[in-house]
Amino acid sequence: MGQVRRYQEPVAQSNRVVNEDVELLARIRNGAVDDYAEIVRRHQAQVFAIVGRFERDPHHCQDLAQETFIKAWRALDQFDGRVPFQHWLAKIAVHTALDHLRRRRRARNEVGFDDLGEDALEWLRAPASDPAPGQARELLDLAMRALSPVERLVITLQGIEGRTVREISELTGSSGVAVRVRAFRARAKLRRALEQLEKRVP
Amino acid sequence: MKPDRLHVLWAAAAQAETPKPEAGFEERVLRAVRLERLAAPACLGEQIARLLPRVAVAAGLVILAGITADLALAHAAPDDLSTSLTRLSEQWLFAVK
C-alpha cells in the first residue's frame, strides 16, 4: 500500500504556525479583518486536502473550501485556543464536507455506470493490476452512492485518509463506537455495491 | 469480489491528487467575509450607535417644531397658555347656564 497523500506539516513548523496563528487570530478579533487572508493562505492546503476527498470537481472544491473558511470566520469567537487552530478548522472542513454530501445525495441510491470512464470499466472487467488513482476514485465515488452521507464520510476518512477511529471521532464529534459501527456497515455496503458493479459491468 | 479489492481501491484512491486552491483564493474568501460583515445583523450596541444620529436629528426637529409652534401661537394669541386654559375651562367646563 502506497503512502497516503494526507496533509501533514512537520512538527517544528507546526508549532511555529500554532503560535503565529494565536497572534494573528487575536489581531483579527480586534478588527484587523484583512489579516484573515493570511489565515486562509496558511491553512488552505489542509482544507482543500479534506474537502477534495469528497468532491472531485475543482470548482465545487473551491466553493466548499470557501464555505469552510466563512464558517470558521463566523465561529471565530468560539475558538478558545485549547486545540491548535488547524485541528479546529479541520473539524469545520469535515462538517462542511458532510453537509455537501447530504445536499448532493441523490434520490436514487442505485449504482449505475453513467459517470464511469472506460478505464475504470476496464479495471472492473479485468482487475489484473492496481487501478490508477483517478480510476479508483471514480469507482469508489460510484460505489459510495449506496452509502449514507455519514457512512461515506467515515469510510473515506478511515479507508482513504487512513485516520484512526479516535481521530475520526474527534473530527466528526461522534463516539468511537458509533464510528466503528458506521465504518463496519459502510465497508459491507461498499463491498456489495462493488460486487453489483462487477456483475453488471457491460 | 475478493475482500482485498476494496483495499486496493482505497490505496489507489489515496494517491489521487486533490484539487488545489486557485490563485487569489484568499482574496475571494476575504471578499466573502467583508460581504458577510455587511449583511450580518449588528449587535444591540452597534444598532443603537447606528441609530443615535437619527434619533438626535429627530429630537432636534421635534424641539424646533415645538418652538416654532409656540412662537406662532404667541403671535396669534397674545395670552399665554395658562390664561388660555383658564378661559377655556371657564367657558366650557364651569359655564353657568
Cell reading at A25: 487570530
DSSP track, A115-161: T--HHHHHHHH---SPPPHHHHHHHHHHHGGGS-HHHHHHHIIIIIS
Contact A4, B10 (CB under 8 A): no
How far apart are the C-alpha atoms of A134 and B16, rounded to whole Å?
Answer: 6
Q: C-alpha angle with apex A175: A169 to A176, nearest 5 degrees?
A: 70
B70, part of any domain: yes
Does residue A22 sit at the B interface (CB-CB below 8 Å)?
no
Nearest to B87 by CA among B77, B76, B72, B74: B77
Q: Are B13 and A52 a contacting pair at CB < 8 A?
A: no
Residues in chain B: 97
pLDDT tens track for B24-53 = 999 999 999 988 877 766 667 767 777 778
Task: State whether the Cα torsion A148-A149-A152-A157 is positive or negative.
Answer: negative
B69, part of any domain: yes
CB within 8 Å of A69: residues ≥ 6 apart: A36, A39, A40, A44, A47, B29, B33
- Chain A closest CA to B57's CA: distance in Å? 29
B2, part of any domain: no
Using a CB-CB cut-off of 8 Å, the residues of chain B touching A66 are 25, 28-29, 32
pLDDT of residue A17: 62
pTM, two decimals, is 0.71
B67, part of any domain: yes
> What residue type is A171 in one-letter code?
L
Q: Are A136 and B13 a contacting pair at CB < 8 A?
A: yes
B12, part of any domain: no
User: In chain A, which residue's Cα lies nearest the Cα of B26?
Assistant: A37
Question: Is pLDDT above 70 for B23?
Answer: yes
Q: How many CB atoms lie within 10 A of CB A78?
A: 8
For residues B27, A47, A101, A177, the Cα torsion angle rounded to the nearest 10 degrees is -150
pLDDT of residue A73: 92
User: In chain B, which residue's Cα lies nearest the Cα of A125?
Assistant: B1
Q: Which domain holds residue B79?
A: 43-97
How far apart are the C-alpha atoms of A143 and B68, rounded to whole Å?
Answer: 81
B86, part of any domain: yes
User: In chain A, which residue's Cα lies nearest the Cα of B21?
Assistant: A62
In chain A, residues 54-73 whose CB comes closer than 8 Å to chain B: 55-58, 61-62, 65-66, 69-70, 73
Domain count for chain B: 1
| Strand segments (E) across chain B | none
Q: How confident is the model at residue A131 (pLDDT cuts 50, 70, 90)?
A: confident
Task: State whether the Cα torsion A144-A149-A151-A157 is positive or negative.
Answer: positive
B97, part of any domain: yes
Q: Looking at per-residue confidence, does A82 or A87 come out higher?
A: A87
pLDDT tens track for A10-59 = 555 566 666 778 888 988 988 888 999 999 999 999 999 999 999 988 99
Of B3, B5, B19, the CB nearest to A58: B19
Placement of cell 488547524 in the chain:
A86
pLDDT tens track for A179-197 = 999 999 999 999 998 888 8
